[in-house]
Amino acid sequence: MTEQEIFDQKIDADVRIEPKDWMPEAYRKTLIRQISQHAHSEYVGMLPEANWITRAPTLRRKATLLAKVQDEAGHGLYLYSAMETLGMSRQQSLDDLHSGKAKYSSIFNYPTLTWADIGTIGWLVDGAAILNQVPLCRTSYGPYARAMVRVCKEESFHQRQGFEIMMALAQGTAEQKEMAQDAINRWWWPTLMMFGPKDSESGNSELSMRWRIKRFSNDELRQKFVDMMVPQAEFLGLKVPDEKLQWNAEKNGHDFGEIDWEEFWRVVKGHGQCNKQRLDARRKAHEDGAWVRDAAMAYAEKRAQREATKKGA
């Protein structure tokens, strides 16, 4: 049997591929692209939320938001580590992010204008992320799947805290309710875009499904998301901003309106509201942090030298 045949057989039998196993070059490349994009998303995703840490309305909300942003950093780390098992260095990957060569989820190129946006990100955006991520716990590449198990376990609190914020606002004063409605109005469509282009226009999808990196298509997940979220919005007493949204008993799911794909591609290509701001912030954080990395390295060297002298004496 050829290496390719052994690989195909493993994929078909749902046996995980591990770092030292032979894999087609295109499989490795696809994974490096997907995992690094995913890691960058966790990483850049800290920015819109961090925007509200100092202005959280209560100490409880502030502690929660801090914990959530810390989790996103951790999730980025798990994913960068999984990516490194494929032979891509962390430094190269960060360079690609900072140069604009690598992508991250477009959702983070939208601004967080009010406190309700933080609730909406937790509830809607993390809700969508969870739908994407749960099937990835069974993705064909072992280190990626194991990282996702960890991420999904931690992600559950993110969605619940978001819903809690939305519930407090939706059941609050007229102004608070209006703020919640305004947030869902702005975030609903960009969140639907998180599942990626339509199946008919998604170039990478077919191979990713064949290799069992992906297990559901973009459109399948998007449909699931709408069906899951509509009752939750109803419970909150918030309106989903889609005139075409209605229950279709025949397909046992909702029909919904068309996404503005022009906007989708515009943001992907770097022309969203916050693309520049996000990348500038990432680069600045990296450059401003250089002295910390250097100092830690110098300290380690000094300590090693001291140990060596002690042993020599």
Provide the binding-site residues for other proteins, judged by CB under 8 A: 10, 15-18, 20, 60, 63-64, 67, 71, 127, 142, 145-146, 156-157, 159-161, 163-164, 167, 228, 231-232, 235
Would the CA dihedral through 71, 72, 73, 76 be positive or negative? positive
Residue 38 vs 68, nearer CB to other proteins = 68
User: Is 168:238 a contact under the CB 8 Å cutoff?
Assistant: no
Closest approach of Cβ 142 to other proteins, in Å?
5
Q: Which residue lies nearer to other proteins by CB, 94 or 128?
A: 128
Residue with smaller CB distance to other proteins, 149 or 209: 149
The distance of closest approach from Cβ of residue 179 to other proteins in the complex, given in angstroms and rounded to an integer, is 20
How far apart are CB 271 and other proteins at their closest, in Å?
Answer: 34
Name the minimum Å distance from CB 52 to other proteins. 16
CA separation for the pair 143, 126 (Å, rounded)? 22
Closest CB to other proteins among 16 and 103?
Answer: 16
Q: How far is the CB of 164 from other proteins (least distance, A)?
A: 5
Of the pair 26, 228, the CB lying nearest other proteins is at 228
